[in-house]
């Protein structure tokens, strides 16, 4: 084999092996979407902390940021910089082992998340108790960083 061919083959192999390093991160600002009308409900900032992915509500888009229909400790509170996601660890191309709080119900769910294949501006989340098949899914949209600025 020619020296050029071997170098070209080596370069291609490096690119293929390095591709995961170029993968889009889940870190950033995300718009949560209302299941009923498709409107933006809140903005959540996802970032790394202690080797895991976590997420904080940065702001609600209605009611002056006050959660008027939330349960228990979240009821009638301004939800700003409130931790609602924690413990997500990389597992291939998704994040598992996490938990997410639904402020509306006050319940905490096991959860997993991953970027939607072919669209790194969409984040698929699934919350569940016990069996994943009995859970609920949402797709969030990546938002401009300015929406999560404090």
Residues 63-75 pLDDT 10s: 667 777 777 777 7
pLDDT tens-digit readout, 89-104: 999 999 999 999 887 7
* The pLDDT of residue 50 is above 80: yes
* The pLDDT of residue 58 is above 50: yes
Distance (Å, whole) CA 93 – CA 147 = 26
**99 C-beta neighbours (distance < 10 Å), count:** 14
> pTM here?
0.78
**Phi and psi torsions of 92, nearest 5°:** 70, -125
* Domains identified in the chain and CATH numbers: 25-148 (2.40.128.520)
Tell me whether strands 40-49 and 28-33 are parallel, antiparallel or unpaired. Answer: antiparallel
pLDDT tens-digit readout, 109-132: 999 999 999 999 999 999 999 888
**2 C-beta neighbours (distance < 10 Å), count:** 7
**93 C-beta neighbours (distance < 10 Å), count:** 10
Distance (Å, whole) CA 58 – CA 60 = 7
pLDDT given for residue 13 in this prediction: 43
Sign of the four-CA dihedral 39, 41, 43, 46: negative
* Average pLDDT of the residues in 3-25: 48
Quickly state the pLDDT bin for 26 (edges 50, 70, 90): very high
| Span of 3-7, 52-56, 77-81 with lowest mean pLDDT | 3-7
Q: What is the chain's mean pLDDT, rounded?
A: 83
pLDDT given for residue 5 in this prediction: 42
* Average pLDDT of the residues in 15-33: 70
């Amino acid at each position: 084999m020619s020296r050029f061919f071997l170098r070209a083959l080596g370069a291609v192999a490096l690119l293929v092996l390095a591709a995961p390093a170029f993968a889009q991160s889940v870190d950033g600002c995300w718009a949560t979407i209302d299941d009923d009308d498709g409107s933006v409900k809140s903005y959540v900032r996802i970032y790394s902390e202690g080797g895991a992915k976590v997420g904080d509500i940065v702001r609600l888009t209605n009611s002056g940021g006050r959660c008027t229909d939330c349960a228990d400790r979240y009821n009638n509170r301004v939800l700003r910089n409130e931790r609602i996601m924690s413990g997500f660890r990389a597992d291939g191309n998704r994040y598992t082992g996490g938990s997410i709080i639904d402020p509306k119900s006050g319940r905490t769910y096991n959860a997993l998340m991953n970027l939607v294949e072919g669209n790194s501006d969409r984040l698929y989340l699934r919350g569940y108790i016990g069996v994943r098949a009995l859970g609920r899914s949402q797709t969030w949209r990546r938002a401009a960083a300015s929406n999560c600025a404090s």
